Structure 1
Amino acid sequence: MVFGTARAVKSHRLGRRRKKGGSRLPVAPWIVITLVCVLVASGLTWGFMTLLRSGCSGSVYRVTVAAAPSIAAAVDDAAQEWEATQPEVEGECVGVEVQEVSAAAASRGILGVWDQKSLGPPPIAWVPDSQAWASWVGSSEATAGYVSSDPVVLGQATSVLAVPESTADALGWLGGQPPSWADVLDAALAGDVDLAAANPRTSTEGLVAMLNATSDGEGGFSEEALASYTAAIEAGSVADDASEQLAAYAESGEAGQVFTTLGYQVDNFNATSGMEEQLVPVTPSGSSVAAVATYLVLGGTSWVSESDASIAGRFGSFLAGAVADGSFSAIELTPAEDGAAALAQATPEAVGQAVRSWQEGRQDLNVLFLVDRSSRMGEETTDYGGESDVSVADAAIRMAVDMVEDMESTSRAGLWEFGVGADGDANWRAVTDQAEMSDGNREALRNDLWAVSENEEYEGTSPLYGALEAAYGYMGEHAADGSVNVVVVLTNNVEDTASPPTVGETAETLASMAGAATVYTVGFGDANADNLALLAEATGGAYVEAPSEGGVLEAIGAP
C-alpha cells in the first residue's frame, strides 16, 4: 500500500505522550501466562505464535488532524482510544496525529497556502469548532469539494452575549423574554451599551455572532442587518477574539459593555476572573446558528492522497460511534440532538454572502512592516503564542506572519528590515515590495519573513529613527487610494544612538511630511514606550504594546 507523502515538518502535537508502534496484547497478562502453559503442555506452540502475531506490527503510520484548540484534547483522547484497537491497513498500524490549529487559521490555509512552519503538517482531516468555517471554505465553486459532504457532528456551543449582571438587569434582559438582535443593536447605537464584538474573520464567536445578527429570519442573510451590526461595532469595539475583550474588561471593570461570546467562555470567565460581578449569558431571540463542532475529511487539496483520506475516514467512523454511544466528551460542547438540523444552520450560501459583505464593508490595508533586526532583538526574550522565553527577534517575525495571515486578499503588504549596516551605507533594507495578498504574494511575503528570521541580527544599537523616516517617506509615495496606509514598526528599541536625529527631531520630521500614511509602533520587552508613542502619534498613529497572542490588525482599524 502507498501512503501519503512523507512530511519533514515537526508536528505541533499535544502534550500527552502516545505509545508508538509495536504489537499490543489484547488480553490481560495472567491470561497469556496460563494460555502459554496450556499450549506448551499440549504441544500447540505453533498456535500460540500465531496468536502473538495477530493484528498489525511495526511503527504506526499517522495522518494529521487539525483541530480547534477548544476541542483538540477531546479529539486526541479519542485518537488514542482508536489506536488502542490496533487499526491496520495491509498489516501496517495506522492512526491519527492531532494538532491544535484555530478554525480561522485552518480555513485560510485550506483556501490558500498551508503554512507548515507555523501550523504544522497539512491536515488530512479538520475539526473546526463551528461548521460555519467549513461552509465558508465551501461557499465558492473552486473550493466546494475541499471538505467532506458527510461531516461528523461532535457537539455544539451556544452563541451568547456576555453581559454584566447589573447591566442586563437595568436593560430588562434578565428573565422573561430576551431581546432580539435588533433590540441589542438599537441599544448599542443609542449608546445604552457598548457592543464589544469579536472579529468574524479571526474567531468562531465573532463569526457565529455575525451570522445570527445578520440573519433575515429565514436562514438567509440581510444586508440591512449587517449595516446595523457594523455601525454598532464601530460605536463599540472589535478585537481578534472574545478573550482579548474579556481580559480588558477584567482589568477595567467598565460597566455597560456587551461581549459576543460562546456559552462556555462566559462560564470560564466567571470561574477564573475573580470579579465580584458575574457575567450572564444572554441569547437574543431569533438566534438560529450555534457553533457546531464537526469532523471533516479533506479532499481536492494538493496534499491529501486517497490512502490518507481513507485512514482519516476510518477514524471519523470511530468518532461517529463514540458520539452515538456517548463516550465522546468535550466539556465545551453540548450534544446536538439533531445533527442534520445543526448542520443546516449555517449553509455555504448564507455564510459566503455574509462574510463577503462584511469584507466589502471594511477598508483594505496597505502596510509596510518595518522589522528591527538589531542585536538587542535577539538578546531579550518574551512570551508569544503560548510559549515562554521566545526571543524578541523571533516573536516579531511570528507576529508579522500572523498579521499577514489575517489580511484579506485585497490588502497589500511589503517588508523592510533595519539594523546598522543592513544595506551597506544604509541602516535599512527593502526585502519585499508592496503587493496585493494573492495566494502567491502572501506565500512570498511569509517566506521572506521566515528567511529574515534565519539571518543573524545586525550588531550595534537599533537605528530606528533614520529607518522610520525613510520608510514613512516611501509609504507616502506608495499609498493606496481607499486603503488604510500604515507603517507597522516591530521593535524593542530603547534609544537610537545610530541615527543622526533625536527622537524629538524625528517626530517633528514625520509630522511635517505628507500624511498619506500612519505609523503604529509595536513595542516588545523593555522598549521605550514613551519614545515609540511620540513617533507614532506624530503621524496620527499610536503605540501598541506587543500582545502575547496574534497580531495587531484591529488596533490599526484594519479588516
Structure 2
Amino acid sequence: MARGRSQPGVKTHRRGRRRRTRRRFPVAPWIVVTTIVTLVASGLVLGYTWLLGTGCSGEPIRATVVAAPDVRESLSVLARQWEGEEPSLRGQCIAVDVQEKSSAEVATKLATTWNTVTDGARPHVWIPDSSVWVQMLEAGETGALMVPDQTPYLATSPTVIAMPVPMAEAMGWSADGGGDLELTWTRLLELAEDGDWSDFGNEEWGGITLGLSSPRDSTAGMHALLSLTDVDGNGDVVDEELANVIRLKQALSQNPVDTDTLLREMAEVQEDDLNGYVSAFPALERDVWRFNNYMKTGTKLAAVYPSDGSLDADHPIVVLENVEWTDQVYQEIGRQFTEYITGEAGEAELLGEGFRDGTRRTGGETLNDTEGLTPQIEESQRGPVQPSAVSNALAAWQALNRPANVLLALDTSESMGATVSYKGEELARLEVVRRELIDALDLFGSQANIGLWDYSTAVPYSGENDYTPLVNVGEFDDAQKALITDSLQQMSPGGGSALFDTAAAAYEALQNDFNEEPGAANLVVIISDGGNEDDNGGLTLADFEARIDELSQRESRTKQVSIVTIGFGGEVDEEALRGVAEASRGLFFPAEWNDQLKPQLLNALFNAV
C-alpha cells in the first residue's frame, strides 16, 4: 500500500521489489552440513527434510504494535498470517501483538504520561491514522527523538465533506463525477455561516448546517481544522489564520462529537425529511464507504472531495527509537513486519477494507463499487503541515472549548469617550469595545462561566470602591449572555481609571469563584485605553504586586488566577498594563486598531496559563 508518490517534506520510505522472506537455520551451517551427510548415509531422508523445512525455533519474541482503530482488525489478520510464515531473527521466531488505541491519545501520552497499567504495553511500533498525530508528537523535544527519519505509509483515506446525497445533488454534485460542484473548505465555512437551502431551490430544508467531530480526538476533525486555518495551504498556521478557529466554532450547528455519533444520526435521515439534520461534516472517505455499505437506513452519503485539496489519513508506520522500552531486536521485528504489511498481502487486505493505496488514486473493487464515492480522485492532496501548525491549531481549538472562568473588567474612564473611526462610523472608544465584546461573547460556550465589571473613579459606587461588579461570574447560558449584553449597553465614560485597585479586587474575586476542573482557565481580562489614573489614591504598581503575591500565597498553589490586559488604542500606558499582567503570570496584548480587539481577546484565551 505504501508504493506511491513522495510529497515534498514528507517522510517517505523508498522501497524496491519486495524481498522474499528468507528462512534461517536455527543452527550453524557447518553443523547442518555434517548432520545432512550423516542422515543421508543412514538413509534418514525424512529427518533431512524436516531439518531444512524449519524456519525458526523457540517461543516468538513479540513486539507490540499499537494501531489506530480503523486498521487494527486488518493488522491483526496480517499479523497472524505473518506469524504463520515463521519469520525469524537470527533463527529465533518473532511475531507482533496488535493493540488498538486512539491516535490522539497515543500522541498525547507517549512522551509523557503513558501508564502501562491503564494504557497497556508501550508500543515498539505505532501506526496512527494520520501523520498529523506524528507531527503533534514531534512538536515536543522528547517526542521528536522517538520518530525515525523514514515512516512508510500503510494505506490512505482522503478527508472528504460528507453530505446526504440529495443535498449534495442540490449543490451540483453528481454520482458519475460529471457534476459542477466545486466546494472548497473556505466556501463550506461561508455556507455554514450564512447559507440557506433556499439558495439551492430547497427552502424546506432550512439553513445549511455544519457538523464536526472533535479535532482533539478525531482525525477527520483535525484535518478539517487544519484545512480551514491553513488558508494559503503552505503548511503553517499564523496568528491571522487562527481567526478562522473562531469562525468555525461559531458556524457549528452543534457541539463537536465523534464521527460515529454523526454517522448514527445520519443513519436516521430520510430523503423526504432532511430538515433539522446536519447538511455537511468532514469525514474520512472510508467512513462514507463504511456508512453506505453497513450503516445507512435511509439516504446514502456523498463524499465531496474539496477542490482546494485535503489531508489524507495516511497511516504512517513509526518504528520507535531512542526510548528505553525498545532495542535493536524490537526495531528489526518492526521493520520486518513493516515489509510484510506494505507488500502484496497488506495491499490485498487493506484495499478490501475500503482504503486506497499510497498514490491515493487507486482503490479496491469494494470502494470503487460503492455509491457516493469517486473511484479516481482528481483533487490534489494537501502538502505536509508543520508540527507547530498542528500544535497551534489544536491549542487554539482547545482554548475556545475548554472550561473557563473569565471575569471581564472594562475601563469606562473619560478617555473611553474619545471618538474613533469604526467601520465607516465615528464612535466613542467605549462603543467600539462594547460592540466587539458583544460579538466576541459567542466565543464562549456553555462550558464557560463569565462575569463583568467596569471601573472608573467618576461613577457613584457603593462604598469606597472604584469598580462595580455588574454581573457575577456564572454559567454562560442565554440568561447570562443577556445580562452581560444589557450591562454593556448601559455603560458610559467618565472620571479616571483605578487600574491597580480593580485588578487586585478582580483577582481575589476569581480566586473565590475558582474553577478546579482539569485544564480550566481562570482568567481576568482587563480592557483599557490608558493605565492607572486614580484620583482617589489607591494602590501603586508596587502595592499591587505585593497584594497579588499575598493572595497567591494565601490560597493553594493550585488556585492560580492569571490577569490578561488588552491595551486599546495608541495612547495606552504599556508599563502599567504589562506590570499588572506579569505580576500574575499573565500577558499584555496591544490592540492599537479597532479590528485587533477580538483577535487579541482570542489570544488572551489561547495563552491563558
Band of TM-score, shorter chain:
0.5 to 0.7
Q: CA deviation at 1:275?
A: 3.4
Q: Note closer, same or farther for the CA distance 1:338–1:141 as it changes in structure 2 (3 Å cut).
A: farther
Matched, 1:246 2:263: yes
- Is contact 1:161–1:260 with CA below 8 Å preserved after alignment? yes
Mapping 1:487-506, distance limit 5 Å: none
Q: Note closer, same or farther for the CA distance 1:45–1:227 as it changes in structure 2 (3 Å cut).
A: same
Which of 234, 244, 266 is the equivalent residue of 1:218? 234
- Matches of 2:382 and 2:89 in 1, distance apart? 31
**Which residue identity does 2:137 align to in structure 1?**
V
- Is contact 1:152–1:319 with CA below 8 Å preserved after alignment? no
Q: Who is 1:297 aligned against?
A: 319
Matched, 1:259 2:281: yes
Which of 396, 401, 405 is the equivalent residue of 1:357? 396
**Which residue identity does 1:197 align to in structure 2?**
L
Q: Encode CA deviations 1:233-287: one digit per residue, 9 max, x unaligned.
A: 3332233421112223434763452111111212222334443322211122212
Q: Who is 2:136 aligned against?
A: 136
Mapping 1:530-545, distance limit 5 Å: none
Q: Who is 1:79 aligned against?
A: 79
Which of 515, 520, 523 is the equivalent residue of 1:479? 515
Aligned-pair Cα RMSD in Å? 3.8
User: Alignment partner of 1:98: what SS?
Assistant: strand
Q: Who is 1:381 aligned against?
A: none
- Matches of 2:229 and 2:118 in 1, distance apart? 33
Q: Who is 1:109 aligned against?
A: 109
- Matches of 2:96 and 2:381 in 1, distance apart? 26
Identity %: 30
- Is contact 2:227–2:310 with CA below 8 Å preserved after alignment? yes
Q: Who is 1:161 aligned against?
A: 161
Q: Who is 1:416 aligned against?
A: none
Q: Encode CA deviations 1:437-493: one digit per residue, 9 max, x unaligned.
A: xxxxxxxxxxxxxxxxxxxxxxxxxxxxxxxxxxxxxx97543699479xxxxxxxx
Count of equivalent residues: 346
Q: Encode CA deviations 1:68-118: one digit per residue, 9 max, x unaligned.
A: 111112222222232223222333211111111121122122132223344
Q: Who is 1:60 aligned against?
A: 60
**Which residue identity does 1:102 align to in structure 2?**
S
**Which residue identity does 2:289 align to in structure 1?**
D
- Is contact 1:205–1:241 with CA below 8 Å preserved after alignment? no
- Is contact 1:159–1:289 with CA below 8 Å preserved after alignment? yes
Q: Note closer, same or farther for the CA distance 1:91–1:324 as it changes in structure 2 (3 Å cut).
A: closer
Q: CA deviation at 1:64?
A: 0.4
Gaps of 5+ in 2: 1-22, 26-35, 197-207, 362-379, 406-447, 449-510, 523-609
Which is further off, 282-291 or 169-178?
A: 169-178
**Which residue identity does 2:390 align to in structure 1?**
V
- Matches of 1:278 and 1:47 in 2, distance apart? 61
Which of 217, 223, 243 is the equivalent residue of 1:227? 243
- Matches of 2:316 and 2:335 in 1, distance apart? 13
Mapping 1:83-482, distance limit 5 Å: 83-172=83-172, 175-190=179-194, 192=196, 193-215=208-230, 216-221=232-237, 223-236=239-252, 237-251=254-268, 254-322=276-344, 329=351, 331-337=353-359, 345-364=384-403, 478-479=514-515
Q: Who is 1:526 aligned against?
A: none
- Is contact 1:292–1:342 with CA below 8 Å preserved after alignment? no
- Matches of 2:390 and 2:117 in 1, distance apart? 29
- Matches of 2:513 and 2:167 in 1, distance apart? 49
**Which residue identity does 1:160 align to in structure 2?**
V
- Matches of 1:343 and 1:63 in 2, distance apart? 33
- Matches of 2:304 and 2:360 in 1, distance apart? 23
Q: Note closer, same or farther for the CA distance 1:343–1:40 as it changes in structure 2 (3 Å cut).
A: farther
User: Alignment partner of 1:202: what SS?
Assistant: coil
- Matches of 2:171 and 2:89 in 1, distance apart? 60
- Is contact 1:185–1:228 with CA below 8 Å preserved after alignment? no
Q: Note closer, same or farther for the CA distance 1:129–1:330 as it changes in structure 2 (3 Å cut).
A: farther
- Matches of 1:155 and 1:484 in 2, distance apart? 39
Q: Note closer, same or farther for the CA distance 1:234–1:476 as it changes in structure 2 (3 Å cut).
A: farther
User: Alignment partner of 1:58: what SS?
Assistant: strand
Q: Note closer, same or farther for the CA distance 1:191–1:480 as it changes in structure 2 (3 Å cut).
A: farther
User: Alignment partner of 2:150: what SS?
Assistant: coil
Which is further off, 129-138 or 117-126?
A: 117-126
- Is contact 2:126–2:320 with CA below 8 Å preserved after alignment? yes
Q: CA deviation at 1:361?
A: 3.9
- Matches of 1:258 and 1:66 in 2, distance apart? 32
- Is contact 1:203–1:240 with CA below 8 Å preserved after alignment? no
**Which residue identity does 1:244 align to in structure 2?**
T
- Is contact 2:309–2:382 with CA below 8 Å preserved after alignment? no
**Which residue identity does 1:479 align to in structure 2?**
N
- Is contact 2:136–2:391 with CA below 8 Å preserved after alignment? yes
- Is contact 1:65–1:126 with CA below 8 Å preserved after alignment? yes
Which is further off, 319-328 or 172-181?
A: 319-328
- Is contact 2:171–2:181 with CA below 8 Å preserved after alignment? no
Q: Encode CA deviations 1:374-426: one digit per residue, 9 max, x unaligned.
A: xxxxxxxxxxxxxxxxxxxxxxxxxxxxxxxxxxxxx9xxxxxxxxxxxxxxx
- Is contact 2:24–2:88 with CA below 8 Å preserved after alignment? no
Q: CA deviation at 1:214?
A: 1.9
- Is contact 2:236–2:385 with CA below 8 Å preserved after alignment? no
Which is further off, 139-148 or 67-76?
A: 139-148
**Which residue identity does 1:358 align to in structure 2?**
W
- Matches of 1:45 and 1:256 in 2, distance apart? 71
- Matches of 1:48 and 1:116 in 2, distance apart? 46
- Is contact 2:146–2:323 with CA below 8 Å preserved after alignment? yes
Q: Encode CA deviations 1:177-224: one digit per residue, 9 max, x unaligned.
A: 412111111111115322111111101111112122222223332544
User: Alignment partner of 1:300: what SS?
Assistant: coil
- Is contact 2:64–2:125 with CA below 8 Å preserved after alignment? yes
Q: CA deviation at 1:292?
A: 0.8
Which is further off, 174-183 or 318-327?
A: 318-327
User: Alignment partner of 2:314: what SS?
Assistant: strand
- Larger fraction in strand: 1
**Which residue identity does 1:182 align to in structure 2?**
T
**Which residue identity does 2:249 align to in structure 1?**
I
- Matches of 1:83 and 1:297 in 2, distance apart? 19
User: Alignment partner of 2:317: what SS?
Assistant: strand
Which is further off, 210-219 or 164-173?
A: 164-173
- Is contact 2:159–2:310 with CA below 8 Å preserved after alignment? no
- Is contact 1:56–1:87 with CA below 8 Å preserved after alignment? yes
User: Alignment partner of 1:220: what SS?
Assistant: coil
- Matches of 1:251 and 1:329 in 2, distance apart? 28
Q: CA deviation at 1:135?
A: 1.3
- Matches of 2:140 and 2:70 in 1, distance apart? 27
User: Alignment partner of 2:63: what SS?
Assistant: strand
